């Protein structure tokens, strides 16, 4: 059940010039959250900035009662949050949204992260690494430059294979992470393959198009400006490619995790 | 200490509380069932319902502005038949009056939606949405002209036997004139204000933020405009008013009540803080105790008596 609670910052770490990692005491959410779900966080008790901000859960420790969030500074709200000091508290609504469906045992799992989009994939990798089933997990992590590969070790340490991709070639392969995925997918694999992706929309669209041409299941975690976070305001929609149902899907309650085939990538306005 | 009587009479409806939720901010009730005590509301006002399903506007549909937000949802809804079949049964379960907000592209559509809802069980009142700024056909254009507004209200009036509320647009020069037109055409109550037409531009990309270009501004930024309009309309008509526009606290709600609103609605604040309805209620009770007021209804328009004329 979704709850609204005060959550106290217990630790904050500057992980790149643009990203902070926050650890919050939020026992109910830490208990319930599944990889892919998010919390809707109010950055101030004042009316400006007004709206809550959605953040994917990066890690949850049910025994310790804490969750980790990865915050990229993009505006005033994230600036306030990224600078939060231990002891400060925030209103959290959550856990919200759909989780990543877990792959069948024995699957080859490819995690495709772009920038701050790595957060929910770290949680998923953690769940898969600790699951009783065996998985072969590959992590592909792209960013503009080496210094923006936020929390890369958290992903790499939970994967059997890990590749960093930077646009400027400052570390790992030079290029786009979607190109690295295309090469992986072109190598034949006899078993079941599942791709999970989170990152900028252009990257997700590339993943969606690749997945449509390959015998592979793919799931994407989408991001949108959000109003309510609970499905009421219809502000956070993405265009649907499903043959039935509404033209637009709500990121907050129909997602944020969607089968890549559910999104109409050609209609993207952004 | 005696408990404060929060009940109010609204066009023949007895509401247990003067606190409503604004159309479009509370879905069809179930979305907030985990977070808000829906049964404590005076009434639940639904998202707009139209004759046929509407897919709504392309995204981006919302953006944040100083102490406010712009939205251009575009009346996305499943249509009146699906509303009756899929949404209304759950709405009835909350045990509070259900006010259905209806919209149409023309007078005929308003009439047909009203007729259809007239034969459905569990609709306490209709709220005519003649003030949505985000659709090309219908919506606001008929809410900003007295003759068109009167045409819609008088068309619906004969087919709807229960209370009829007209929601007024603030995007007009003289809201009192529109209020009079709506009442003369048969409205039992008025709600105001809908959102203010606004827009934001992404300066880096040099284009409008919203795909719809313009949107409706809501949130605390618009509250002084809304309070002023309640004040003006309360002096122009004698039907009950439902006040809304940026209400975040009990104190904010009191401004509307003192200006002349019989009931108030919490809108954008539901997104920011789902406890707002409960906090407004507590704020009203505390205020009444502090001032020795036994019935909230006694405060309606109280500032008008002492208010300096402008």
Give the start-to-end residue ranges of the domains of chain B: 8-58+73-198+217-306
| Burial call A135-144: b when 16+ CB within 10 Å, e when fewer | bbbbbbbbbe
pLDDT of residue B19: 98
Residues of A in contact with B270 (CB under 8 A): 228, 232
Average pLDDT, stretch B60-88? 96
Q: What's the CATH architecture for A3-96?
A: Beta Barrel (2.40)
Residues of B in contact with A1 (CB under 8 A): 34
Chain segment B93-142, per-residue pLDDT in tens: 999 999 999 999 889 999 999 999 999 999 999 999 987 665 655 556 67
pLDDT of residue A270: 45
Is residue A206 over pLDDT 70? yes
pLDDT of residue B38: 95
Parse chain A into domains and list their residue ranges: 3-96, 108-221
User: In chain A, what percentage of residues exceed pLDDT 70?
Assistant: 97
Residue with tokens 């906090």: B279
pLDDT band for position A1 (cuts 50, 70, 90): low
pLDDT of residue B134: 58
DSSP 8-class letter at A101: P
Question: Inter-chain contact A231–B55, Cβ cutoff 8 Å?
Answer: no
Residues of B in contact with A233 (CB under 8 A): 24-25, 27, 62, 71, 73, 271
Is residue A34 within 8 Å of residue A122, measured between CB atoms?
Answer: no
Of the candidates B140, B145, B122, B118, the one whose C-alpha atom is nearest the C-alpha of residue B130 is B140
pLDDT band for position B306 (cuts 50, 70, 90): confident
pLDDT band for position A18 (cuts 50, 70, 90): very high
3-state secondary structure of A1: coil
Q: CB-based burial of residue B118 (10 Å sphere; 0-12 exposed, 13-18 middle, 19+ buried)?
A: middle
Is residue B270 within 8 Å of residue A232, measured between CB atoms?
Answer: yes
Of B34, B55, B76, Cβ closest to residue A2: B34
Q: Report the top-level CATH class of A108-221.
A: alpha beta
User: In chain B, what percentage of residues exceed pLDDT 90?
Assistant: 91
User: In chain A, what percentage of residues exceed pLDDT 90?
Assistant: 89
Residues of A in contact with B31 (CB under 8 A): 228, 230-232, 253
Best residue in A43, A232, A267, A268 to probe B by mutation, most B CBs within 10 Å?
A232
Of A47, A230, A269, Cβ closest to residue B248: A47
Question: Inter-chain contact B59–A238, Cβ cutoff 8 Å?
Answer: yes
**Structural tokens at position A99:** 């989780």
> How many angstroms separate the CA of residue B239 from the nearest CA in chain A?
30
Of the candidates A163, A173, A167, the one whose C-alpha atom is nearest the C-alpha of residue A143 is A167
pLDDT of residue B1: 52
3-state secondary structure of B270: helix
Chain segment A94-137, per-residue pLDDT in tens: 999 999 999 998 899 999 999 999 999 999 999 999 998 889 99
Mean pLDDT (chain B, rounded): 94
Is residue B184 within 8 Å of residue B237, measured between CB atoms?
Answer: no
Question: Inter-chain contact A246–B76, Cβ cutoff 8 Å?
Answer: yes
Question: Inter-chain contact A246–B62, Cβ cutoff 8 Å?
Answer: no
**Structural tokens at position A189:** 């694999």
Q: Mark out chain A residues that contact chain B at CB-CB < 8 A.
A: 1-4, 42, 47-52, 91, 93, 224-239, 246-248, 253, 267, 269-270
How far apart CA A83 and CA A80 sit, in angstroms, is: 5
pLDDT of residue A267: 85
pLDDT of residue B138: 52
pLDDT of residue A255: 95
Question: Inter-chain contact A239–B58, Cβ cutoff 8 Å?
Answer: yes
pLDDT of residue B225: 98
| Closest residue, chain A, to B275 (C-alpha) | A4
Cα-Cα-Cα-Cα torsion A205, A208, A210, A215, nearest 10 degrees, comes to 180
How far apart CA A43 and CA A30 sit, in angstroms, is: 19
pLDDT of residue A96: 97
Average pLDDT, stretch B274-295? 96
Is residue B307 over pLDDT 80? no
Question: Inter-chain contact B60–A239, Cβ cutoff 8 Å?
Answer: no
pLDDT band for position A19 (cuts 50, 70, 90): very high
pLDDT of residue B242: 98
Average pLDDT, stretch B270-285? 97
pLDDT of residue A268: 56
pLDDT of residue B136: 55
Instruction: Count the neighbouring beta carbons within 10 Å of the beta carbon of residue B7.
Output: 14
Is residue B310 over pLDDT 90? no
Average pLDDT, stretch B153-172? 96
Is residue B174 over pLDDT 50? yes
Question: Inter-chain contact B73–A235, Cβ cutoff 8 Å?
Answer: yes
Q: CB-based burial of residue B26 (10 Å sphere; 0-12 exposed, 13-18 middle, 19+ buried)?
A: buried
Question: Inter-chain contact A47–B60, Cβ cutoff 8 Å?
Answer: no
pLDDT of residue A183: 94
Residue B292 CA, chain-centre distance (Å), reads 30
pLDDT of residue B144: 86
Chain segment B179-212, per-residue pLDDT in tens: 999 999 999 999 999 999 999 999 999 999 999 9
Average pLDDT, stretch A40-68? 96
pLDDT band for position B2 (cuts 50, 70, 90): low
Residues of B in contact with A4 (CB under 8 A): 35, 273-275
Residues of A in contact with B56 (CB under 8 A): 234, 237, 247-248
Of B47, B61, B274, Cβ closest to residue A237: B61
Predicted complex ipTM exceeds 0.90: yes
Contacts of residue A34, defined as CB under 8 A and 6 or more positions apart, other chains included, come to A95, A99, A100, A127
Supply the residues of B annotated as catalytic: 132
Residues of B in contact with A251 (CB under 8 A): none
Strand partners, A55: A39
CATH superfamily of B8-58+73-198+217-306: Aldolase class I (3.20.20.70)
Chain segment B3-41, per-residue pLDDT in tens: 899 999 999 999 999 999 999 999 999 999 989 999 999
> How many angstroms separate the CA of residue A235 from the nearest CA in chain B?
5
Question: Inter-chain contact B64–A93, Cβ cutoff 8 Å?
Answer: no
3-state secondary structure of B268: coil
């Amino acid at each position: 059940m979704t709850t609204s609670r005060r959550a106290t910052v217990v630790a904050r770490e500057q992980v790149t010039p643009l990203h902070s990692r926050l650890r919050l005491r939020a026992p109910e959410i830490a208990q319930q959250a599944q990889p892919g779900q998010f919390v809707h966080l109010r950055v101030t008790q004042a009316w400006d900035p007004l709206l809550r901000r959605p953040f994917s859960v990066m890690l949850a420790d049910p025994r310790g009662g804490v969750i980790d969030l990865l915050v990229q500074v993009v505006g005033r709200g994230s600036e306030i949050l990224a600078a939060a000091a231990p002891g400060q508290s925030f209103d959290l609504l959550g856990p919200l949204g759909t989780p990543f469906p877990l792959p069948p045992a024995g699957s080859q799992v490819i995690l495709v992260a772009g920038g701050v989009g790595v957060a929910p994939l770290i949680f998923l990798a953690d769940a898969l690494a600790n699951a009783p089933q065996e998985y072969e997990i590959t992590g592909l992590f792209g960013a503009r430059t080496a210094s923006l590969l936020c929390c890369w070790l958290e992903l790499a340490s939970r994967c059997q294979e890990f590749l960093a991709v930077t646009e400027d070639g400052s570390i790992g392969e030079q290029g786009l992470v979607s190109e690295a995925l295309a090469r992986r997918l072109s190598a034949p694999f006899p078993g079941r393959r599942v791709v999970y992706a989170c990152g900028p929309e252009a990257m997700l669209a590339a993943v969606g198009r690749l997945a449509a041409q390959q015998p592979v299941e793919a799931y994407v975690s989408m991001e949108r400006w959000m109003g309510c976070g609970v499905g009421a305001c219809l502000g956070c929609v993405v265009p649907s490619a499903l043959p039935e149902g509404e033209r637009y899907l709500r990121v907050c309650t129909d997602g944020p995790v969607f089968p890549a085939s559910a999104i109409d990538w050609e209609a993207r306005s952004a | 200490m005696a408990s404060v009587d929060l009940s109010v009479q609204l066009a023949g409806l007895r509401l247990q509380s003067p606190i409503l939720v604004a159309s479009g901010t509370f879905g069809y009730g179930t979305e907030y069932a985990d977070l808000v005590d829906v049964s404590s509301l005076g009434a639940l006002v639904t998202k707009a319902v139209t004759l046929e399903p509407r897919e709504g506007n392309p995204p981006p549909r919302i953006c944040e502005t100083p102490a406010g937000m712009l939205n251009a949802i575009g009346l996305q809804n499943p249509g009146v038949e699906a509303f009756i079949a899929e949404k209304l049964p759950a709405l009835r379960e909350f045990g509070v009056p259900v006010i259905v907000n209806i919209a149409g592209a023309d007078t005929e559509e308003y009439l047909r939606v009203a007729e259809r809802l007239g034969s459905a069980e569990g609709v306490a009142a209709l709220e005519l949405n003649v003030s949505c700024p985000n659709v090309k056909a219908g919506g606001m254009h008929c809410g900003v002209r007295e003759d068109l507004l009167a045409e819609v209200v008088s068309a619906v009036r004969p087919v709807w036997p229960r209370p009829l509320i007209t929601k007024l647009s603030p995007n007009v020069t003289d809201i009192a004139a529109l209020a009079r037109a709506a009442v003369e055409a048969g409205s039992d109550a008025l709600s105001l204000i809908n959102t203010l037409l606004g827009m934001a531009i992404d300066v880096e990309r040099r284009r409008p933020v919203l795909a719809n270009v313009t949107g409706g501004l809501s949130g605390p930024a618009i509250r002084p405009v809304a309070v002023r309009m309640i004040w003006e309309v309360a002096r122009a008509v004698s039907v009950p008013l439902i006040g809304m526009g940026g209400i975040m606290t009990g104190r904010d709600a009191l401004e509307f009540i003192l200006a002349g609103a019989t009931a108030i609605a919490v809108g954008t604040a539901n997104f920011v803080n789902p406890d707002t309805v409960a906090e407004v209620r507590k704020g009203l009770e505390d205020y009444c105790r502090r001032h020795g007021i036994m019935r909230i209804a006694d405060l309606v328009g109280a500032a008008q008596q002492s208010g300096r004329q402008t």
